[in-house]
Amino acid sequence: MAGKKAKEKPYVSTEALRVAMTRQWKAPIHAIMWEVGDATGARHTRLADAVIMGLWPSRGIDLEGVEIKTHRSDWLRELANPAKAEQIARYCDFWWVHASPDVVRIEELPAGWGLRIYDGRIWTTPVPAARRQPEPMTREFLAALLRRSDQQNEKQAKQLVDDVLAKERATIEQRIEHQVQERTRRSASLASVADEFEKATGLSIAELSKYGTATYAARMTAALMKQDLHNPYSGLEYLVKQLRQTADAAADAMKEIGLDPPSAEECRRPKRIA
């Protein structure tokens, strides 16, 4: 619609583009090496952002050089001297620019260069790269490839170790947190029991602890609980009822044979032996 503002395309960072490349060109079909020079050490004069090697003959064992561009200014600097890319491009079967949207214009591409664009979701190929006639690899360039491959293996191994350690740390932290929560719940439960004990008995746990009688109070309470003496069907109440029924039956038996059963008052007083 006329006058309607065009939708702005999303910005894709260099890191996001690298991650997308890793997912798109992954083992066992491809191998990616990052920041590959035309030689090792101080002898290198040019770095390619990435080199992709095809590993399956059925899909082509080709070497593809890649320049990553996520800013327009960076691309314009590349255009100022595109011949520099030949330091590495001469060994490659294809030469690509991998860019985020609105960075590279198709008409600006040097002859033979391909363009792939990643918008944060999918890859598109506005311009396929032309197949080149690569020069034989020099030992310097081969050494640069092998060095990057070795460094990436070391980095991946370190990352695996770091991941395992991070997972172990997370597990330990979870265990500690669980123990802290459990101890907190236990402390709260004990505090609640202590409050109920003091309200029911009128005794202060602090005072009992001060005078060393808390242990005895705890043992007495434990004994009552273990013996279930508070149970109305088998505890003290039940025993008292049974004893009273037995005493009443004995008193009735004494009356039947002409004996006077002792009164309740006599039962309370200990009998003196002459």
Q: Which residue has the higher pLDDT, 125 or 11?
A: 125
Strand order, beta sheet including 94-99: 30-37, 47-54, 63-69, 94-99, 114-118, 123-127
Question: Which tens digit of pLDDT belongs to each residue from 214-259?
Answer: 676 677 676 666 666 666 666 667 777 777 777 777 777 788 888 8
Question: Which tens digit of pLDDT belongs to each residue from 83-107?
Answer: 888 989 999 999 999 999 999 999 9
The answer to whether residue 119 scores a pLDDT higher than 80 is yes
Q: Give 41's DSSP letter.
A: G
* Beta strands 30-37; 123-127: pairing state: unpaired
Where in the chain are the domains? 14-137, 146-225, 228-258
Predicted confidence at residue 260, as pLDDT, reads 80
**Mean pLDDT taken over the chain:** 80
The class of domain 14-137 in CATH terms is alpha beta
Predicted confidence at residue 157, as pLDDT, reads 44
